[in-house]
Structures are given as C-alpha cells and as structure tokens.
Amino acid sequence: KAEILAVFGNDLTVVNAARVSMDKWHAEFDFESDTRLIDYLAREGHWSPFSHPKATFMITAPIFVARQWEKHRVGCVRGYDIYDQNEMSRRYVDDEPEFFVPTEWRSRPDGSIKQGSGEPLTAKMHDVCNEILEEAHEHARDAYLYLLQRGVAPEQARMVLPQTMYTQWIETGSLAYWHRLCDLRMDAHAQREINDLACQVSAQMETAFPVSWAALWRNCSRV
C-alpha cells in the first residue's frame, strides 16, 4: 500500500524553476504556455526543474518487495537522486509481525528466463501453496516470539522472520525521482506485486502534478 502524506510544490514550481534562468516568474499557472514548456522540458531531458517539487509517501509492503523497490536507486544521476527514506526497524520494534499472502500463485516462466513468472497455477495448487506458506509463517512467528520471551535481543530474534513479513517506510523524493521509479516498476517485466505498488504511487502523483506527470509519461517513458 502506498499513501501520499505530503506534497511540496506543484506544476507551477516546475515552470518557475525553468524560467528563473531568464529572470522570469509566473504567479499563476498559465495552462497553454506552461503546459507547452513542461512538455518541452520533459521531451528535451531537462530534469532539474522536475527535481524541485517533492512528494512524501508512507509505503507498506512485504520485505521481498521493499528490497526490490530500493534497487531503482542504483545508477541514479543528477535530477533523479533526490530522495530520503526512513524504515521501521525490528531492532526496536518487537510486536507480533504480519505476513503477506499472495492472491495468486504463478508458475515458473518457460524456457531459460531467469526472472519473472508465468501463468497462474491451478486452484488446487494455489491452495497447496497457501497451506505451505501459512505453516512457514506460523513456525517463523512462534520461533520469533519464543526467542523474545527467552530474552534474546530483538535485533537478533528478527533473523528467523521471512521475506513475506510486512515492513513500513516513509519515502520522500522529487517529481523526477518518482517518475523514474514508476517507469521502471510499472514495466511489464517488473514483478506483479511491485508493479501494483508503483501503480498506486503513479495514480497519486498524477493527482498532485497532473500536467508534469502526463508530460513525463508522454515524452520520456518506457512503459
């Protein structure tokens, strides 16, 4: 789940950041001329104006999604790399964990493909997989709570918890940053679960920055 908490700036912030180099400033957004300028900036790869507006999200996801989510930061360049993140830590939190259960189980992809997934498994196999997962969750939960009850430090007791455990973090990034993330994570080759999360972010960014978000998708998107 992704929930937008705060927004700094708007579409007008983008155009004013671009126009300041010519000592110009708009007090209000002029839809025709400012939309044209935003399209030009996106089309020509002028990223710095898109780095000034910011958005903060509260994101809740299982560990395996959270760790994959972070990888889009590798190779960030100027204009993209404006972000901050603070995540809940089980060094300090020791309440009972919650675990992710998929709504569908998918088959391994055909051929020599090393990542991704194929078609959904049969209903019977879906039930088998859910049963196996629930047993694993129960065992991990019991082991974790037992270690805590025995006085083990939370930072070590957490080692028995699986990747399906939910974590939560607050992430702040620039408009350019969020578009790059969504462009990567909404790609057809992205894992289904992370794709769903990116779609939630994109829908809320579209509401906060309608002109800029549309221009970025129109002019510099792989999806």
141 is catalytic: no
Residues 6+ apart with CB under 8 A from 33: none
| CA 217 from centroid of its chain's CA atoms | 17
Q: E strands, the chain, where?
A: 2-8, 54-62, 83-87, 166-174
Report the phi/psi class of residue 5: left, alpha or beta, with left for phi > 0 and alpha for psi in -120 to 50. alpha
| CA 99 from centroid of its chain's CA atoms | 19
| CA 126 from centroid of its chain's CA atoms | 27
Out of 150, 185, 192, 218, pick the active-site residue.
Answer: 185
Handedness of CA 135, 137, 143, 149 (dihedral sign): negative
As a whole number of Å, the CA-based R_g of the chain is 21
Read off the tokens for 44: 């020509």
Q: Which residues are catalytic?
A: 185
